Amino acid sequence: MNNALEISGLKKVYKGGFTALKGIDLTVKQGDFFALLGPNGAGKSTTIGIITSLVNKTAGSVKVFGHDIDKELEQAKSYLGLVPQEFNFNQFETLLTILVNQAGYYGVERSLAFKRAEKYLKKLDLWDKRNDAGRMLSGGMKRRLMIARALMHEPQVLILDEPTAGVDIELRRSMWIFLRELNKQGITIILTTHYLEEAEMLCRNIAIIDSGVIVEDTDMKSLLSKLDQETIVFDIDSITTAPQLDEFTCRLIDDHTLEVDVKKSQLINDIFSQLNGQNINVRSMRNKSNRLEELFVSLVGSGQKVKQESK
């Protein structure tokens, strides 16, 4: 399978001397659903900016389906669709005008552009608003408009920079369904997000960037398999002191809530047996945090910054 995106030795030093990227390497296969995660200021948006030619790189190379942005920028651009983090459409133009003009920049005839605009506006539940100015839309609608705009030239790679930021849960989930559909149709999707659950739900491969360095670049299953401990929260009938559980560390948060650390090699059944033996009734249980979130925090939060090894 072809590489949709190949980044090699990518470096960005902004005016003033701030180094946003310290020479990263990244490869995204065609058809992948790829997550680029990192804390604020890690270099995610700079990376996307360079790929889409909104930011000038300092060093390194970027290829989109083999087309180097230094030598074949227009060909490389024609494969890409971008949904940026901030609303960047003309607030005074109607939705139809925004979409049809955007298609025109990619050489799509107006008659075809109107058909596609209708298709995507209907798909994203914005058709009723087609003659409204962009500024009249709600935040969630504006996000969907930017997705429709990015699809107008039917790109092979869709890059979404925090697409569900500020979007309510119901809408976020409908956007996930839509993005999965696009990916099934063969569109390579590269996603940055703060919602780690989103990355875990959608993406097959993941890279974690921190302080301009890729600290992890692997598939989601391998990454989650690195997690050797989870914390399970038990809702229990009222007790006053924390129970003693052999081989488990536990904490009584309040008289109804017990947290237990469970290593990968341990069985949750053992906890139930021991709690049962101490006449403690369990009403319900859940993971304390998203599994990926725990890994993310351990990778970027503890200062464990592994220099990217050459592949």
Partner 1 sequence: MSSKSNFIALKSILYKEINRFMRIWVQTLVPPAITISLYFVIFGELIGSRIGQMGGFDYMSFIVPGLIMMSVITNSYSNVASSFFSAKWQRNVEEMLVAPVPNWVIVAGYVGGGMARGMLVGTIVTLVSLLFVDIQIHNIWVIIATVSLTSATFALGGLINAIFAGSFDDISIIPTFILTPLTYLGGVFYSISLLPDFWQGVSHLNPIVYMVNAFRYGFLGISDVSLTLAFSVLAAFIITLYTIAMTLITKGIGLRS
What does the binding site for partner 1 look like in residue numbers (CB under 8 A)? Answer: 14-15, 49, 52-56, 73-75, 77-78, 80, 82, 84, 86, 88-93, 97, 100-110, 149, 153
Closest distance between partner 1 and the C-beta of residue 106, in Å?
A: 5
Closest distance between partner 1 and the C-beta of residue 109, in Å?
A: 6
Closest distance between partner 1 and the C-beta of residue 50, in Å?
A: 10
**CA 167, CA 140: separation in Å to the nearest integer?**
5
Length of the chain: 311
Task: Tell me phi and psi for residue 85, to 5 degrees.
Answer: -70, -40
Closest distance between partner 1 and the C-beta of residue 161, in Å?
A: 12
Closest distance between partner 1 and the C-beta of residue 75, in Å?
A: 7
Return the H-helix or E-strand segment holding 301.
none
Closest distance between partner 1 and the C-beta of residue 153, in Å?
A: 8
Three-class secondary structure assignment of 199-235: HHHHCCEEEEEECCEEEEEEEHHHHHHCCCEEEEEEE
Strands 205-210 and 19-29 come out as unpaired
Give the residues across from 10 on adjacent strands. Answer: 24
DSSP state of 71: T
**CA 64, CA 156: separation in Å to the nearest integer?**
10
Nearer to partner 1, 102 or 308 (CB): 102
Closest distance between partner 1 and the C-beta of residue 284, in Å?
A: 47
**CA 38, CA 215: separation in Å to the nearest integer?**
9
Nearer to partner 1, 56 or 240 (CB): 56
What 3-state class would DSSP assign to 291?
A: helix
Number of separate helices (H) and strands (E) present in the chain: 10, 14
Compute the half-sphere exposure of residue 20: CA atoms within 13 Å on the CB side of its CA. 21
Nearer to partner 1, 103 or 203 (CB): 103
| Residue 140 CA: distances (Å) to CA of 19, 129, 173, 192 | 33, 13, 12, 17
Closest distance between partner 1 and the C-beta of residue 282, in Å?
A: 53
